[in-house]
Structure 1
Amino acid sequence: MRVLDILIPFAQTGRIGAVRIGAQLKDVIVELGPPWAEGSSVGAGGVPYLYAYGCLEVATCHARCQMIESIVVQTDWVTMEWPSRESGRAERFPGGPTYSEVLRALSEAGCSWGVYEPLTLGDQCAIRVPASGAIFVFTTEDVEEPVLCNVSVADHRPHSCG
């Protein structure tokens, strides 16, 4: 597997299997098993709201509903860990695709994108895919060509969860 095999469909749809904005964490757990790690920050009633499956991070509502509000794929690891089709197991593959590799893969998939100015500053640059709202952030510090750090989608609209 290659990281772009995950990222391009994610850019097109904003989802990775059951992991999508608005889904419940319990539905993700049915597909992927229990999270491999939880964040130390907690919301209402001491419930964590950051969960990880290797390089795949899921943030949920800070209340008890645990609706997914953001998804981040960390790509700046030398070796990425990713949930395999076998629950609880990890696949490993190289991370760190370059700017040109990402743009070529998006183009080959017919996926349009544009520069994302709010995160293009200092030692990084970013692009956004309108179809899904996916934002690709690249580091430009100490590299010949920008290298992808992470890809994310998020929904910052408030919801009522009782």
Structure 2
Amino acid sequence: MHVLDILVPFARTGRIGAVRVGAQLRDVTRELGPPWAEGSSTGADGLPYLYAYGCLEIATCHAHCQVIESIVVQTDQATMQWPSREPGRAESFPGYPTHREVVRALSETGCSWDDYAPLTCDDQCAIRVPASGAIFVFTTEDVEEPTLCNASVADHRPRSCG
């Protein structure tokens, strides 16, 4: 497996299996098993709101509803850990995809993207996929070619649940 096998479908749809903005955490745990790690931050109800399955990070609402508000795939590691199709098991594959590899893979599948100025600055650049709202951030600092740090999608609208 290669990280682009995950990132291209994520860019096109904004989801990874049951992991999608607006889904309930319980639906994800039904498919992937319990999270491998939880964030130390908690919401108003005392529950954590950051969960991880290796390089896949899920943030939920800070209230008890635990609706997924954002998904981040951390790609800035030499070896990425990823949930396999068997709950509770991990797959490993190389990280550090380059800007050239990412945009070529997106283009080859007909997935359009645009430069994303709000997250482009001296030490990073970013692209956004209009179809899903996915944002890919690349480091430009101390590398020969921009390297992907993370890919994410989020819903920043206020929730009325808590």
- Structures share fold, TM-score greater than 0.5: yes
Counterpart secondary structure, 1:44: coil
Aligned residue in 1 for 2:98: 98
Aligned residue in 1 for 2:31: 31
Tell me by how many angstroms 1:70 deviates: 0.1
Deviations 1:26-50 (A, max 9, x none): 0000000000000000002210000
The alignment's TM-score, normalised by the length of structure 1, stands at 0.99
Tell me by how many angstroms 1:159 deviates: 2.0
Quote the Cα distance in structure 1 between the aligned partners of 2:45 and 2:57: 21
Aligned residue in 2 for 1:77: 77
Quote the Cα distance in structure 2 between the aligned partners of 1:95 and 1:142: 17
Quote the Cα distance in structure 2 between the aligned partners of 1:94 and 1:160: 40
1:99-118 to structure 2, matched below 5 A, reads 99-118=99-118
Quote the Cα distance in structure 2 between the aligned partners of 1:123 and 1:8: 24
Quote the Cα distance in structure 2 between the aligned partners of 1:57 and 1:103: 23
Runs of 4+ aligned residues of structure 1 deviating over 3 Å after TM superposition are none
Quote the Cα distance in structure 2 between the aligned partners of 1:95 and 1:136: 14
1:15 aligns with 2:15: yes
1:13-162 to structure 2, matched below 5 A, reads 13-161=13-161
The answer (yes or no) to whether the contact 2:45–2:62 under 8 Å persists in 1 is: no
Quote the Cα distance in structure 2 between the aligned partners of 1:10 and 1:111: 11
List runs of 5+ in structure 2 lacking aligned partners: none
Percent of paired sites with the same residue: 81
The alignment's TM-score, normalised by the length of structure 2, stands at 0.99
- Higher mean alpha-carbon deviation, 152-161 vs 8-17, is at 152-161
Counterpart amino acid of 1:108? E
List runs of 5+ in structure 1 lacking aligned partners: none
C-alpha RMSD over aligned residues: 0.6
Quote the Cα distance in structure 1 between the aligned partners of 2:58 and 2:131: 20
Tell me by how many angstroms 1:141 deviates: 0.4
Quote the Cα distance in structure 2 between the aligned partners of 1:31 and 1:62: 22
Quote the Cα distance in structure 2 between the aligned partners of 1:2 and 1:35: 22
